[in-house]
Amino acid sequence: MDIEKLQAFITLAKTKSFTKTADALYISQPALSKQIQSLEQELQVPLFNRAKKSSNLTIYGEYFQAYAQNILMNFLNAKEHIKQIENLEQGTLSFGATNFIGVYLVPPILAFFRQLYPGITINMTINASKNILNLLNSYNLEFILLSDYVKIDEERFIRKTWRTDQLKVIVGHQSPLYKKRVLTIEDLNNQVLITKSKTSSLYKFLIPKLIKDGLQLSHPLFISNQEAIKQAVINNIGISIMSPLAIQLEEKLDLIKALPIKGETFNRKISIVHERNRHLTPATIEFLKLLK
């Protein structure tokens, strides 16, 4: 079994099209068909149900897919590891982070890492927790940074706490709440609460507890982008809940203030997540040392 066959299998499983897979791998369709047939002969089972419009995995293909991804990623990881052995003069650091973490917490560490290892290419993916988990799950990232309230497969992945963050209510300078030092749940009931979607991990972490403690969520406004939420707060559309670390610049300009809620504490831990059985590359090991 060779790596090219595995790459062909994984790509075809994703595209479900021989034409698209051949184009993506820069090979001819006959060459692709030969690779898939050779792999099927080696495993002695059909991996795809072939049709004119699409080629879907058989039950054998579905079971083999996870193993194929694992084998391919271990091979690529080994190549990357070997490349980085000589004083980290070359190689790639690939990881993911949620928006808040990637935008507000990671850049200073990246800058220091870059000074130490200028030859390492850095690929940081910033996206929703669900998406970076999927990328980690499919071996496209070596590790990810996300909040501890996001559920992971504890058997497959290991979670290590990096730091703790406290969430507070943010209000704009035009809001009547801006002059207060502490808020109550009753103060929030008269406001438009701007938050991410109901399916977001942050919403699921915050809102049920607040509703249980008396919040009347009658005027929510859902915005998926954190920067857009801040602008909405500045323009007095409503209030929101986020980390004070995300509004440091706006606070210095007296545009936004972060306030606690009396009797409520929203602490979250920021975690490093990676596979339990994966050998981390030297670049990742050094970066994780800087995080600590």
Instruction: Please give the share of the chain, as a percent, with pLDDT higher than 90.
Output: 50
Q: Is 76 helix (H, G, I), strand (E, B) or coil?
A: helix
216 and 254 fall within a common domain? yes
CA distance 216 to 193: 10
63 and 92 fall within a common domain? no
Q: Is 80 exceeded by the pLDDT of residue 87?
A: no
- pTM for this structure? 0.71
| 57 DSSP β-pair partners | 48
131 and 179 fall within a common domain? no
280 and 153 fall within a common domain? yes
63 and 20 fall within a common domain? yes
CATH number of the domain enclosing 176? 3.40.190.10
144 and 284 fall within a common domain? yes
171 and 252 fall within a common domain? yes
User: Which tens digits make up the pLDDT trace of 212-242?
Assistant: 888 887 778 999 888 999 999 999 999 999 9
Domains: count for the chain: 3
Mean pLDDT within 137-151: 90
If we measure between CA atoms, which residue out of 128, 145, 101, 102 comes closest to residue 200? 128
CATH number of the domain enclosing 23? 1.10.10.10
What residue type is 233 in one-letter code? Answer: V
CA distance 30 to 15: 17
Q: Is 60 exceeded by the pLDDT of residue 27?
A: yes
Q: Which of 81, 108, 133 is the last residue of a domain?
A: 81
150 and 197 fall within a common domain? no
Query: Tell me, what's the pLDDT at 1?
Result: 55
Torsions phi, psi for 43 (to 5 deg): -85, -15
**Which range of residues forms the domain containing residue 204?**
164-267
176 and 261 fall within a common domain? yes
User: Which tens digits make up the pLDDT trace of 260-274?
Assistant: 999 888 888 999 999
